[in-house]
Structure 1
């Protein structure tokens, strides 16, 4: 064997694990300590946070990434900062090879980001969405500026909802327009995520994902999102609900399989979740209407390890008289991860054979669906 042929093999690991070095140079007004800049992003599935004190508005971050990654830089002005200021103190950037400049005469909210093709693409996307974002801001101001009586007026609210729907439709059209032109951009992966929303439909989202270049799909972030989409596929309507076992409040294991032969609503919620608690009366109504007709509910709580009493109190206060389970692991709840849960409330309606036949039924939709199935 010729020794020269060994060289590519020996060098291969270096290419496989290559890292792109980045440097962020910031200049935001003339702020100095105690004002700090915080850089936040995800690497290897874990959240990473770095910080730097400002000196006459200047700060620097440096590091490496396996592939371009979306990040947020936020300013912390210290305790007592008015909420409106704190909410407008961040900017999105893409960590990529080379020097990245983040600059503004006053606030992070007004900062420009330059450096690298992905930050250029992100600036283009922000410009594209500027109008719909302004319309949405005006709509929110209209709602919060209305009197309590106006906020309860059905005609007023119907008008706002119609306007909101039009804004979202226009936003979706713009995102698809951007995606069609930037399939090689890592920004496009985040556009796919925006189009997907918090409760993605695999049949809709996966075709959008496949439009991305192989480089983006095979990046760390791309592979992670593809894994997530595969989990979504496993819990899509028509799929057999993945089996699981988790303990009830007394520590006794409860299996999904033990409910086979009944219609089962797997309800993901938590005592700390306001929208979940607001939806509970509708779930209680459905349970009481159909509990004697081959229907039951299995509640899966995303409460935390130090909040068992709050979980039990919420069950009692909201009259949730069905079976409940939890590992009290918050967002790391094993069943929630298995079912690709990233927002709550969410639910899955399972038929007597264990097949998922509906998802995320809210309000009267749940009662209506059950009335179609159970007589």
Structure 2
């Protein structure tokens, strides 16, 4: 009976208006299941009384410390449905259970994660509450009530920047905390969809950090599997591959043969990509005009399937001034597969040796980066 020793989880929910509320106890069995809908294993449930109280008893325990998730559901919802679209309305909260350590929690039913509190939390649960607060604040600051018109090029870039700012708050926590499980929760909150294409360096850093401390932990091993080079785009600090590119001029070139004497921008774009077209006209053309003679190079790769559309767009934007390449295979472009990128607009900023010094910098930020580089 020792492995099933009673462990109490009790609490009270505010804002109960109906009698069809349950609280579910969910165990993620892999790192990918943390903060993911429908994947975690439901191990218990408790009916919420009319006064908002609920209680779990005799929770199975076979680990000294375990990460679980509490989720509040209305009748008809799957117990392991986790809402991630809106941090203000998220219906679940990760907790850490330790042997013989009862937990008492309070929360609002309609803002479960945001309002979640633990009475006298342990140090590790306090860290989970901290990252929850960071997540809530970042969401409110950068994403709440934002309605971008993504067909407008500049607004799509603004949206991507806001999402990156939100993720950066979570990544900063993961980089600085000394608690593994809260760091992994933050890592999963960075992308519940398991898409780290825009922040691959973060995954690599997390693997290196925790592999030094807990290399035998299966979730650390799963984290490091995600961060293997073949699973991520080329990284800042990497030397960009010396690929052979088919050009708009019908020639081919080796990338290293045309590197700028001081800086090279590898720009991934398409004629149908509104923010890419805006970047051509408003950012790349002015940079080219001012810095090409000082050692700037631009090499563009277009996700095109029609040569005429590609050529017309490049000429209209003034982007035919710099090297234009494409395999004319659309989204199935070999170049993107080789550098493991799926999303545009994207770019890589290389130094004179072809080493990546920055990625996915756009608009005024890109102009400032180039300007500052040439001031050195």
In the superposition, the TM-score normalised over structure 1's length comes to 0.51
1:340-359 alignment runs, 5 A limit: 340-359=340-359
- Taking a change above 3 Å as real, the CA distance of residues 69 and 95 of structure 1, as seen in their structure-2 partners, is farther
- Residue 239 of structure 2: aligned partner: 240
Mapping of 1:246-285 within 5 angstroms?
246-249=245-248, 251-260=250-259, 262=261, 263-280=263-280, 281-285=282-286
Structure 1 residue 224: Cα displacement: 4.0
- Cα drift, residue 112 of structure 1: 4.3
Question: Secondary structure in 2 aligned to 1:347?
Answer: strand
* Aligned mates of 1:252, 1:204 — CA distance in 2: 40
8 Å CA contact 2:247–2:326 kept in 1: the answer is yes
| Counterpart in the other structure of 1:294 | 295
Relative distance call for 1:297 and 1:308 in structure 2 (3 A) is same
- What root-mean-square deviation, in Å, do the aligned CA atoms of Structure 1 and Structure 2 show? 4.9
After TM superposition, list the pairs within 5 Å mapping 1:310-325 onto structure 2. Answer: 310-321=309-320, 322-325=322-325
Residue 296 of structure 1: how far off its partner (Å): 2.1
**In structure 1, how many angstroms separate the alpha carbons of the residues matched to 2:309 and 2:178?**
44
The 8 Å contact of residues 232 and 340 in structure 2, kept in 1 or not, is answered as no
TM-superposed CA distance for 1:328, in Å, is 3.9
Tell me if the contact between 1:100 and 1:114 (Cα under 8 Å) persists in the aligned partners.
no
The answer to whether the Cα contact below 8 Å between 1:69 and 1:96 also exists between their aligned partners in 2 is no
Measure, in 1, the Cα distance between the counterparts of 2:295 and 2:325.
Answer: 20
Alpha-carbon offset, residue 240 of structure 1: 3.0
Q: Does 1:225 find its partner at 2:227?
A: yes
Conserved in 2, the CA contact under 8 Å of 1:348 and 1:359? Answer: yes
**Aligned partner of 2:36 among 80, 87, 92:** 92
Determine the structure 2 residue equivalent to 1:368.
Answer: 371
- Following superposition, the deviation at residue 298 of structure 1 comes to 0.5
Q: Corresponding residue for 2:122? A: none
Structure 1: gaps (5+ residues): 1-66, 73-90, 146-151
Offset of residue 323 of structure 1: 1.1
Evaluate the alpha carbon distance shift between residue 199 and residue 320 of structure 1 in structure 2; reply closer, same or farther with a 3 A threshold. Answer: farther
Aligned residue among 105, 116, 120 for 2:74: 105
Tell me the SS of whatever aligns to 2:344: coil
Cα distance, 1:197 vs structure 2: 7.2
Per-residue Cα deviation, 1:111-152 (whole angstroms, up to 9, x for no partner) = 64289xxxx99744966566556555655555559xxxxxx9
Q: Helix, strand or coil: the match of 2:80?
A: strand
Specify whether residues 255 and 121 from structure 1 end up closer, same or farther in structure 2 by C-alpha distance, changes over 3 A only. Answer: farther
**Unaligned runs of at least 5 residues, structure 2:** 1-28, 46-70, 83-90, 97-112, 117-128, 149-154
* Matched-pair contact (CA < 8 Å) for 1:246–1:253: yes
1:193 is displaced (CA, Å) by 6.0
Alpha-carbon distance in 2 for matches of 1:230, 1:137: 26
Q: CA 1:247–1:99 in 2, change beyond 3 Å: closer, same or farther? A: farther
Distance 1:261 1:131 in 2: 45
Separation of aligned partners in 2, 1:169 and 1:260: 31
**1:300: Cα distance to partner?**
1.5
- Describe the SS at the equivalent of 2:348: strand
Distance 1:230 1:360 in 2: 15
2:139 and 2:188 map into 1 onto residues whose CA distance is: 22
How far 1:268 sits from its partner (Å)? 2.0
Counterparts of residues 61-80 of structure 1 (less than 5 Å): 68=30, 70=32
- CA positional deviation for 1:336: 2.7
Aligned partner of residue 291 in structure 1, secondary structure = helix
